[in-house]
Structure 1
């Protein structure tokens, strides 16, 4: 195989890897033209790792999911310093959203990270959505559009590329695409009115990247997920909406596409549909080379036009060049530190019902729901820790599905739930607890159900600052 064709194939592959340093196979691949890598909490991202990657390929596109709120890779041990999109949408102050985006950008710029897979531009139209929820700015296309733009302007104003996701919109689904293929049952007209405005606004604001969603949308293409559909990726996104930046897939090992095709076939189909970069959440050397070889074979067989591959690689390199040209901007933003903006946003986002106040250490009952697959499993809710920092003898009990409520004593009771609106068993557990203790305080860190009981606090986000804001409100 020709060196140039192989190099083009490597440029469009963007794998994740295990370990806190770059494995030998990743270093070799970078020397052979690997265009990007994706970092996760498991990599313990820091300057030593970044130096290793840049030493092998100064222009490599280094990407990460750092949305704020529930999805953080850099602050997974403590919870994010930023409350997340839903909280920002509740506050509805675009200047504040821009400031949050800028501070996230500053944090990434200090680490020399090229691309943030954020913001989520999905309109959370379905309250039962299991994977978007508080990752969306809200249920209104106008609200989501204006905050998507503000976030992008803040992030890219710090010299880090933004990535609007998950095109054409993952908001009206009841299936997590990590686990199965979701179907969006919407007409072209409804998509245009509800799901596409935030992406259109992002493109007009100059977003450098867009991520495809692994979604079956029969109104666009009844045969394959949007990631693999030329109708969705080229005709709609490139043609109708006019996007000319780097289009990246969501991770291709997600079951929505992995259950249908082999990795090599997914890669070739996605490139043929108009995608430029292939995100592989966790790759191996053999897997990476098999995908590279599948691309090269498809070009040689005429299945994938070489011009299409060259165009895709060119867009990856254009993003790398955009980042390189903004080194002075990133240096400038280093001094623009606003450590309080996340907590200010979290405080402003709190909504409360009833008069809730703790004057002594409570028993905290965490009604544990399983977070979506997008959330690192180590991410803490943080409420108990935040309360314990203010009321040191705070005690925690975890309640799993089908579990029995603890025996209540004279201590105050705080029930911590997440997305009660989506989980009947959570609502039932809350009702049972309130029967026994009508004075219990309910704190919901996700999409809340209608408030029950004497006192209810909704943080609209899962983060360290959201937890601290709630604890302050309860103890002040």
Structure 2
């Protein structure tokens, strides 16, 4: 059994996945790889454009040939490869609406191929949460839908697509973040559904992902009271051991959601959160998007001290590091391929995406009304998972400013997350008062009231919307 501080430190860094600040590889990442660092995670702040990302990934591979390099590349609203211009994939909600698992598999495979070309070998996707709460502030269109069997089918297809090209997939956020109205980036959500509901709804997509051979599963910083009323899933041996390992039979890597989120570390700090997560059964710890060297070293020291004191059993630490090392070997990076785009999925340009839109009764009369069609996009808040990525008609060069709407035009007002307080409704009233035939488009998960819902705001979805409405590129 490993007992020396040096050996324990090597095990500790073999369970860690820090982010870092900047667009080049920090010296401390290179030093830590030399003494066992398992993984790094790239975030939007690390990306400027495809050429810079390719250089960054090449540098990472030169510094750490066996690193697990991870990103949140879900497709749709959450993208890192296509920051800040917007994703070339439709995203889960619209794929779920189309309900063609072959198309979902093809979309995921295209994402995986693009990741492989960069030398990225761990995709922190898919989201397999069942979005059962319409007002969910952080899942929404990241989910395949609100029906568990439906979500399960597409979750399995996504896993198969990503892993078919040699990229590890990660189903998230266990045991489910879909029935929440709180964003765990900001606070600690709670799910109060009964055990039989959780089993039939939240757990079903994870079963499907496990059966599809998913390499890893990410925890949620959510208290699920029917399983463990006291601890968030990330810190619950009951959730991770009794349910995920024993009941569902998952043998792969359990990765924590980011430990810098308020739902994980607001009360304890990140080093303590890291120890708690390992004790509970996490194998790979996502530290956060702007991990500094000082924060990283504090986490390492906390883990080593916990192992030396007996609070963290050394066998648990060894098991975690071994699981991560096995996944790293299984999904090792081969010779670099030419970086390619992921647009060329059959069906994107032929109207297939429009079949997933929800089209209300007001749309057909609007389409038949004479006048130049224009889209006015109204600014909409983003959550931290999405970030300030370009979205909607503006990202596709299809938007007109409200003040520039020409006389006689008919207008589609586009926003996302259209709650009753969203400013899109005021814009709509002003345009109607000026005599413009006007419909409302929600580019997110519907909250009610919109005439047309696209179930996603990525560039490829916006382009499909523009073609459907007859709006020329500006």
TM-score normalised by length of structure 2 = 0.90
Residue of structure 2 equivalent to 1:470: 465
Residue of structure 2 equivalent to 1:338: 344
In the alignment, which of 371, 376, 395 is matched to residue 400 of structure 2? 395
Residue of structure 1 equivalent to 2:297: 289
Cα distance in 2 between the residues matched to 1:169 and 1:46 = 32
Residue of structure 2 equivalent to 1:172: 179
How far did 1:396 drift?
1.6
Asked if 2 retains the 8 angstrom alpha-carbon contact of 1:248 and 1:279, the reply is yes
Cα distance in 1 between the residues matched to 2:447 and 2:140 = 13
Question: How many equivalent pairs are there?
Answer: 457
Shift in alpha-carbon separation, 1:38–1:362, aligned structure 2, 3 A: same
- What do the CA deviations read for 1:144-168 (whole angstroms, capped 9, x no partner)? 0000000010000011010000000
Alignment of 1:191 onto 2:198: yes
Asked if 2 retains the 8 angstrom alpha-carbon contact of 1:159 and 1:327, the reply is no
TM-score normalised by length of structure 1 = 0.90
How far did 1:188 drift?
1.4
Cα distance in 1 between the residues matched to 2:338 and 2:377 = 43
Cα distance in 2 between the residues matched to 1:336 and 1:13 = 30
What secondary structure, in the 3-state scheme, does the structure 2 residue paired with 1:37 have?
A: strand
In the alignment, which of 112, 123, 136 is matched to residue 129 of structure 1? 136
In the alignment, which of 200, 203, 219 is matched to residue 207 of structure 2? 200
Alignment of 1:38 onto 2:41: yes
Residue of structure 2 equivalent to 1:403: none
- What do the CA deviations read for 1:213-259 (whole angstroms, capped 9, x no partner)? 00011111121211001111111101111111111111101011221
In the alignment, which of 337, 360, 370 is matched to residue 381 of structure 2? 370
Q: What RMSD over aligned residues (CA atoms) do the two structures have, in Å?
A: 2.5
Cα distance in 2 between the residues matched to 1:120 and 1:395 = 33
Residue of structure 2 equivalent to 1:210: 217
Instruction: Select between 43-52 and 460-469 the one with higher mean Cα deviation.
Output: 43-52
How far did 1:334 drift?
8.0
Cα distance in 1 between the residues matched to 2:305 and 2:276 = 13
Write out aligned runs for 1:305-324 (5 A): 305-324=313-332
How far did 1:108 drift?
0.4
Gaps of 5+ in 2: none
How far did 1:121 drift?
0.3
Shift in alpha-carbon separation, 1:449–1:255, aligned structure 2, 3 A: closer
- What do the CA deviations read for 1:391-437 (whole angstroms, capped 9, x no partner)? xxx63249xxxxxxx998433322011022x4443574366347525
What secondary structure, in the 3-state scheme, does the structure 2 residue paired with 1:166 have?
A: strand
How far did 1:185 drift?
1.0
- What do the CA deviations read for 1:16-70 (whole angstroms, capped 9, x no partner)? 0111110111111111211100001221262322222222221111000000110
In the alignment, which of 102, 110, 116 is matched to residue 109 of structure 1? 116
Alignment of 1:9 onto 2:12: yes
Asked if 2 retains the 8 angstrom alpha-carbon contact of 1:100 and 1:341, the reply is no
In the alignment, which of 455, 459, 466 is matched to residue 454 of structure 2? 459
Cα distance in 1 between the residues matched to 2:387 and 2:61 = 26
Cα distance in 2 between the residues matched to 1:269 and 1:227 = 8
How far did 1:376 drift?
1.9
Gaps of 5+ in 1: 389-393, 399-405
- What do the CA deviations read for 1:270-319 (whole angstroms, capped 9, x no partner)? 00000001102221111101100101000100000000000000111011
How far did 1:360 drift?
6.3
Shift in alpha-carbon separation, 1:105–1:409, aligned structure 2, 3 A: same
